[in-house]
Amino acid sequence: MTAELRSAKKVIHNEELEQLINNVCNTFVNKLEVKFDKKFAKLNDKLSEVTDSIKGLNESVKSNKQEIQSVITTTKYLELSNKRNTLRFHGDPETESESDLNSLLSIIGNTMKVRCVQSDVDFLYRLGKSTESNRPRSIIVNFVTNIKRNEVYAAKRLLKNSDISIFEDLPKNQYELLLQAKKKYGKRDAWTSGGKVYVLRNNKRCVINSINDL
């Protein structure tokens, strides 16, 4: 066998071997692609399930937030409704010789010039426990009608030079908001009406709904 023939056979053999290797590699790669395609398909399915689940949770959270906000709004409304006939008196001295009711009726009638009799008052009570402090406890007064309550509250200006002051009986969050408003704008330029907090800003009356409005 000549050298040229041996060389030709070697070339043919190498080409066949290379072709065989390529075929094996292509077959292996195709199998891997099919396998990975199936894996990715399953992962995509699971990802879709997770995405749908997260979407459902987000919708549920959103719905719950709306329900919670609705409950909060309703609670605030009920709190204000329960306090719509109520006023808070500060500064009335505590004495053993005179009942709180008679003392308040005297203040309302003589100082505030509003006709108010015992039958106009549903109930009243002092806040907190009795102490030896010289500072009298505030009195919560619930009037029978909102009309009488508003009549008394409208006359609070007549208490300006006395030790007595009147405030609306507010829910805790509104009371804290009022304190912050008074701290920033001053006692005379921050007040409440109908359970809402107002301030005088640039000579204009503004409603304060939250701390962010200050």
From residue 173, give the alpha-carbon distance in Å to each of 47, 75, 79. Answer: 44, 12, 11
Strand ranges across the sheet with 204-208: 190-193, 196-201, 204-208
**pLDDT band at 52; cut points 50, 70, 90:** confident
Question: pTM, whole model, 2 decimals?
Answer: 0.58
pLDDT at 103: 93
pLDDT at 11: 55
pLDDT at 72: 47
**pLDDT band at 57; cut points 50, 70, 90:** confident
pLDDT at 164: 92
Q: For residues 164-176, give the mean pLDDT.
A: 88
208's enclosing H/E stretch is strand 204-208
The per-residue pLDDT for range 129-160, each reduced to its tens digit, is 877 667 889 999 999 999 999 999 999 999 98
Token readout for 47 is 């990802």
Nearest to 83 by CA among 169, 152, 149: 169
Q: Indicate the domain borders of the chain.
A: 1-82, 84-169, 170-214
154's enclosing H/E stretch is helix 146-154
Q: For residues 196-200, give the mean pLDDT.
A: 92
What is the topology classification, in CATH, of domain 84-169?
A: Alpha-Beta Plaits (3.30.70)
β partners of residue 139: 89, 126
Ranking 24-33, 97-106, 143-152, 158-167 by mean pLDDT, the lowest is: 24-33
Token readout for 141 is 């007064």
